[in-house]
Amino acid sequence: MTKKPLLLIDVDGPLNPYAAKPRRRPEGYTTHRMRPTGWSLAEHAKPLRVWLHPGHGARLRALAGAYELVWATTWKDEANDWIGPHLGLPRLPFIDWPQMHGRAPRGTFWKTQYVVEYAGERPFAWVDDDITPMDREYVDQRHPARSLLLRIDERIGLVQDDFDRLAAWAA
């Protein structure tokens, strides 16, 4: 039996449009205050502000028929505790980055090499706000299966056209 393609999901940018205008929550989003690991009280007096769109959970669950959903975020497993419940998502597998924010080959985003490694020979779609043409080239040269690298504007987050594109690609 052929396995479904992976849908690798970043949080900050695609689900949390963190770069939207400060103090102006994007339409349809709700504000959440969180203290994930690394957001310590000693460094940050206020909890982290995260904007999430409740409709994204239903759209991602609908895609789960065609994909295996995986967190591809620096939140790692904490996305299951802090993000997933607000979106109505079950616990998802996650990429446990061997090194975060480290050196990357040939000008690629630091996640790209690990995304290719995690996917193995499986097709995958990846939504992230840091994807560049160098990442697409790297994946095209090193990944043996189909891939879709979908750069999401960190000021806007995922929109219906992105979900439509993901559904069409999986079909």
What confidence score (pLDDT) does residue 46 get?
Answer: 81
What confidence score (pLDDT) does residue 50 get?
Answer: 94
Nearest to 21 by CA among 66, 51, 53: 51
Domains delineated in the chain: 6-19+52-170 (3.40.50)
> 36 with 75: CB under 8 angstroms?
yes
Consecutive H or E run containing 33 = strand 30-34
What confidence score (pLDDT) does residue 44 get?
Answer: 61
Mean pLDDT of each 10-residue bin along the chain, 171 residues long: 89 95 83 82 74 97 97 96 97 92 83 97 97 96 97 96 98 92
User: Residues 64, 127, 54, CA angle at the centre, nearest 5°?
Assistant: 60
Distance, CA of 138 to chain centre: 19
What confidence score (pLDDT) does residue 41 get?
Answer: 59
Nearest to 79 by CA among 102, 99, 50: 50
What confidence score (pLDDT) does residue 101 get?
Answer: 79
